[in-house]
Structure formats: C-alpha cells, structure tokens
Amino acid sequence: MDVTHSTFTLERRYPAPVKRVFEAWALPEARKRWMAQGAEHSQDFVVGGHETAKGFDGEGRPLTYAARYNEIVPDERILLTSTLHTGDVLSTVSVTSVEFHADGAGTRLVLTEHGMYLPGQEQPEWREQGTAQQLDALAAEFEAKGN
C-alpha cells in the first residue's frame, strides 16, 4: 500500500478579536481546553518549541500528537509540523498553517493541513473531521467565556 497524500482547508469565524483567538492557540491552559480535552498536554509556544497531546482513540489505543512550531507571527499566523502515533506506530505526518484575519469585530481563521497518511492507519477524512471538531470546540469556548 502507498502513502496517501491529502490536503484540507477549514475556515471558521469567531465572535472574538484576533488577539483573543490567537491567545487561545498560544496559551497552554486555553489550548488544552479546546484541543486536548481529556488528554495529557504540554506546550512550549515558541519557534522551535513543541506541543504534545497524549490520549486514547475510541478503541482505547494510545494516541500521541507531537508538533513543532516552525513560525509564529503573533496575531497573524502559526506554521507547524506534526506527527500522530497510534501506540508506537506512526500514523500521519502533517504540515499545517493557521491564519488569523480580522473580520469586523471578530476573527476569520483559516487552517490548511497537508498530510501524509501511512498505510493501514488514520484516514484523511478522520483527520479533517477531528480537526473540525476541535475548531468547533474553540467556538464553544468563546461563547461560554465571552470575548
């Protein structure tokens, strides 16, 4: 079986200023709330810094997401590379951009991910769905906490 290559772009609008949405990515306690719910999470949000989330999939198998921040431009963009392991098996390798744009009093966020999915592991549709759920959880956080 061959490696599957796939790209997806998700766009969301949040009722909060760019600075506040960017902080939700930059501050470890905020990021854990919406991205790594129920998982062990660590984040060093600097260029060259790492983020790790360890949890379990729906079948109880251990999952480890590990990312490295390649570029951070405050309130504008984040570029990162990441891997996902299921147990000790590499499932995916991805390159992701997150762009933040002022949209009236709110923010338009554009996330694009280029992924390589290894045979017999995660599928592109699963990754897109999981990422969309995380971005929806981010929206719920703004609704719950206000701007």
Question: What's 78's domain CATH number?
Answer: 3.30.530.20
CA 21 → CA 1, 110, 132, distances in Å? 40, 12, 16
Domain of 126, in residue numbers = 4-145
Which residue in 30, 34, 23, 108 sits closest to 74, CA to CA? 23
Q: What six digits make up the tokens of 102?
A: 């002022």
Looking from the CA of 89 toward its CB, the CA atoms found within 13 Å total 10
Encode pLDDT of 101-120 as tens digits: 999 999 999 999 999 999 88
pLDDT band at 144 (very low <50, low <70, confident <90, very high): low
Encode pLDDT of 3-36 as tens digits: 999 999 999 999 999 999 999 999 999 999 999 9
Structurally, the chain folds into a number of domains equal to: 1
